[in-house]
Structure 1
Amino acid sequence: MGMMGKVMGWLFGGGGGSLVQTVEAFRENSENGAARLSDEKQATLNQFAAEFQGGRRGVFDSVIDGLNRLPRPMLALGTLGLFVSAMVDPVWFSSRMVGVALIPEPLWWLMGAIVSFYFGARYQVKGQEFQRSAAQTVIMAQALAKDQGQEPILAAPVAPGTAFSDNAALAEWQELLRAQ
């Protein structure tokens, strides 16, 4: 019995050249992998928690944040208010619209430019954030697929002569994707 105990101890964890250590050279220890994954998830959650705790904000920051949230609701509610005022008092509304008709055209152009730049810049920033997050998702999916030994996920190939063919940078990027 002592001999069997020594052999089993040598094979499954006792000596320096055990079977467990040999197998772990070719396959990850599931328990250790789960512990690393748990630590990684905990570190991610801690990072998110630290990111959203933030310090105490001052009165000025709160006022500016409130002002930044006003233009879109004011435009939407103001437009609805115009419809309501046209129905409640058509004479008052028509006199105001005559006043609006007297505004010179360059002033309308200026107002249109200001509103377009405000909302256009916001739209562009939000669109770029979305594209950046989508690109990061694709990159992470490709890395994950490569780590798991799977075929990496590629963007849909674009045939020559389509919309990207006149853009040299996008055509080169598509060629790089096809080469992978």
Structure 2
Amino acid sequence: MGLIGQIFGMGGTAKQIGEAVGGVAEVIVGNRAERDAAAAAQITGAVSQFEGEFASAGALWFDRFVNGLNRLPRPMLALGTLGLFAYAMAEPAGFSTRMQGLGLVPEPLWWLLGAIVSFYFGARELHHQRTRTAVTLARAATAAVKSADPAPAATALAMPLLAPETKPAVTETRAEDPDFNAAVEEWRRLGA
């Protein structure tokens, strides 16, 4: 390649043209590595902020008691179902009498029971999933900040995490006009 470059006289010129094109492309597109580093620093800063917001203040004895109480229904349901099988084998006549009694329960009541149980376990699972996610993200951010170079963390803390507050263009409200819509008025004023 060096010989061909010398023959055509473009040895250093081709390199300079390549660097110039790379510089122009970087101006237009931007440096991806720098963008990724800035995005990572911003995410690290946001997660470290979440760490402070979602940090547990320490569970009191009542919180621990209620958490323990909330852990009882699932094992009780599982053991109760196994107990029904044992009861059916031990005393089939009594079991069939009780199952006939359950057959008399109206269907809407079963739907209500299903909804209550579903919402109870669903809400409980959602609460614990949110708690686990917040704690995991907070720990990951702390580990990333402690192990990383302090410069990106300082950059992330210096970056604004939220958009600057802007005052809405339409501030007046017309209480006497029930059809007034501030968003539509602003849209009309902007000529859209």
Q: Do both proteins adopt the same fold according to a TM-score greater than 0.5, normalized to the shorter chain?
A: no
What is the TM-score normalised by the length of structure 1? Answer: 0.44
Q: Which has the higher contact order (CA 8 A, sep 6+)?
A: 2
* TM-score, scaled to structure 2: 0.41
